[in-house]
Structure 1
Amino acid sequence: MTRRAVDRHSAVPLWSQVQEDLRRRVGLGEFDTVFPGENTLVADYDVSRNTIREALRGLRAEGLVTAERGRAPRVRRAEVEQPLGTLYSLFASVEAAGLTQRSEVRVLDLRADGVVAVHLGLEESTPLVHLERLRRAGDAPLAVDRVWLPASVASPLLDADFTHTSLYTELARRTGTRLESGHERIRALMPTGREQELLECPDRTAVFVIERTGIAAGRPVEWRQTVVRGDRFAFEAQFSARGFHLGIAPSTPSLHPAATAS
């Protein structure tokens, strides 16, 4: 093992030097698969166990590394929380959390799809605009997002650049169409081999499959399927003794979208 250098003549404590180097390595994604145990880090940095424990204590306090009794430490990734029952923009929520939202556009074309047309209440041969994106939060993949819209409404979107913009922003700007309601169906599944590859999912990590219909002016104009990493996504609802309330939770260091991935 190649030992990592610490400056034993520096005024900066050894634990702080180790902590800063571990923070750097976490940021580079070095520990996405497994975080090393104390014995490995002691040998890696050639320092005492107490030095390593002090370095890890700060990383745990920051929420960067988790440690549970009987389980190896692991890197804690930013988690997207979706409050149920509200319309949200994933783009805006990721950006508001201080991460760059970037999309890799895999498909943007005009096609017919009989199954999707039925979801939209249309005749099966109706032309549809189809957009497929790999959504990233920071450098890490978050979701594979596939959306279909009637070409009669959405054809101006065929010229849009969706690398760094919201579908709903472009839909409103180019067509004057604004979604006002909708419904979702959410399931937890294991990803296909291709989805696991695209999302860089660790082995045995489930995904959420979210299917939704978006409504504008009283009629369906969007059908969407989003496959999102289960280890980076959670659902949230609020309730009290007076009943169940759906809405946006207060801001935290986590990402906070609010109910459809635009």
Structure 2
Amino acid sequence: MTGPDEVHALDRSSPMPLWAQLQQELTRRLQAGAFDQEFPGELELVEAYAVSRYTVREALRRLRESRLIDSAKGRGSWVRRGGDSNPPLGSLYSLFREVDAQGIRQRSIVLAQEIVTWAAAAEELGLEPDTPLFHLERMRLADELPMAHDRVWIPAEVARPLLEVDFTVSGLYDELAAQCGVSLAGGRERIAAVIPTQRDRDLLTVPADVACFQIERISTVQQRRMEYRHTVVRADRYSVLAEWSPQGYTVAAEPLDGPPKASAET
């Protein structure tokens, strides 16, 4: 049996990405009781595992999503103690997580990253109509095929540092925590089947006979509305999954069986 302080070399001949191997290795050590005093920094992990800083950051991002560690700008990372160890289960979050779990490469095309005023979004956040908002608009791709058209509004007084972030590969919630010190604690989603607008149809290359899922999310921090998100997802590539038990009821999303299929218009 190996101890929590023993460093296992990563297997560069394995088809599993190095970041996934590192995530698995750090999870093993965490579950064995390692890092009781402090969690190693990025450079320490780079040296210990002979990997790039990108590999380390991606592994740490997945550990944050799994709620095993927390991070903040200027403070590094630390082991999460107590509380809920399960990741937030919103269907949008679950969709992107499940796509990752299948080894499908995700990236985003940033369409807008700016400070705006928009009365409708401000109203959803419980703010005055002319309140400045950070707005992020992205096309989410899975293996280079359109997956979702995602738009987010967050009060600018909180999210202004996000103007400098490269969101082609970074996750919004990770950066919101790291750059702004804000971790979203809960919220609600509304899911509906919709006929996409012409713009959504063009962006997602949706065939004329295909509908989409529309997901509207309000996320909160200590009962304050912090995020309004509007996302349109291709319904011919992804499904909504509901599970229930005596302990509760959850709704998640998952890719349909097999790799995403390109339409004739892709």
* Mapped contact 2:132–2:155 kept (Cα < 8 A): yes
Quote the residue 1:166 is aligned against. 171
Q: How does 1:1-262 map to 2 (within 5 A)?
A: 88=93, 90-240=95-245, 242=246, 245-246=249-250
* Mapped contact 1:182–1:215 kept (Cα < 8 A): yes
Instruction: Check 1:253–1:217 CA distance in 2 against 1; reply closer, same or farther (3 A cut).
Output: same
Instruction: Check 1:176–1:243 CA distance in 2 against 1; reply closer, same or farther (3 A cut).
Output: closer
Structure-2 separation of matches of 1:251 and 1:200: 17
Quote the residue 1:21 is aligned against. none
In the superposition, the TM-score normalised over structure 2's length comes to 0.59
Deviations 1:86-120 (A, max 9, x none): 78365544322201111000000001111111110
Residue 252 of structure 1, CA deviation: 10
* Mapped contact 1:190–1:204 kept (Cα < 8 A): no
Deviations 1:149-191 (A, max 9, x none): 0001100000000001110010000011001101111111111
Instruction: Check 1:85–1:92 CA distance in 2 against 1; reply closer, same or farther (3 A cut).
Output: closer
User: Which protein has greater RCO, CA pairs closer than 8 Å, 6+ apart?
Assistant: 1
Residue 203 of structure 1, CA deviation: 2.2
Instruction: Check 1:98–1:248 CA distance in 2 against 1; reply closer, same or farther (3 A cut).
Output: same
Deviations 1:66-91 (A, max 9, x none): xxxxxxxxxxxxxxxxx965783655
Instruction: Check 1:244–1:217 CA distance in 2 against 1; reply closer, same or farther (3 A cut).
Output: closer
Instruction: Check 1:169–1:184 CA distance in 2 against 1; reply closer, same or farther (3 A cut).
Output: same
* Mapped contact 2:135–2:151 kept (Cα < 8 A): yes
Quote the residue 1:57 is aligned against. none
Structure 1, gaps ≥5 residues long: 1-82, 256-262
Structure 2, gaps ≥5 residues long: 1-87, 260-266
Structure-2 separation of matches of 1:167 and 1:206: 26
Structure-2 separation of matches of 1:132 and 1:251: 22
Mean Cα deviation higher: 147-156 or 195-204:
195-204
Structure-2 separation of matches of 1:151 and 1:243: 38
Structure-1 separation of matches of 2:120 and 2:240: 28
Runs of 4+ in 1 over 2 A off after TM superposition: 83-96, 242-245, 247-255
Structure-2 separation of matches of 1:106 and 1:207: 20
- Identity among equivalent pairs (%): 47
Residue 247 of structure 1, CA deviation: 6.4
* Mapped contact 1:211–1:226 kept (Cα < 8 A): yes
SS in structure 2 of the partner of residue 231 of structure 1: coil
* Mapped contact 2:186–2:220 kept (Cα < 8 A): yes
* Mapped contact 1:128–1:151 kept (Cα < 8 A): yes
Rg larger in structure: 1
Q: Which amino acid aligns with 2:208?
A: D
Q: Which amino acid aligns with 1:146?
A: R
SS in structure 2 of the partner of residue 118 of structure 1: helix
* Mapped contact 2:100–2:106 kept (Cα < 8 A): yes
Structure-2 separation of matches of 1:100 and 1:139: 8
* Mapped contact 1:187–1:209 kept (Cα < 8 A): yes
* Mapped contact 2:161–2:180 kept (Cα < 8 A): yes
Structure-2 separation of matches of 1:103 and 1:219: 28
SS in structure 1 of the partner of residue 220 of structure 2: strand
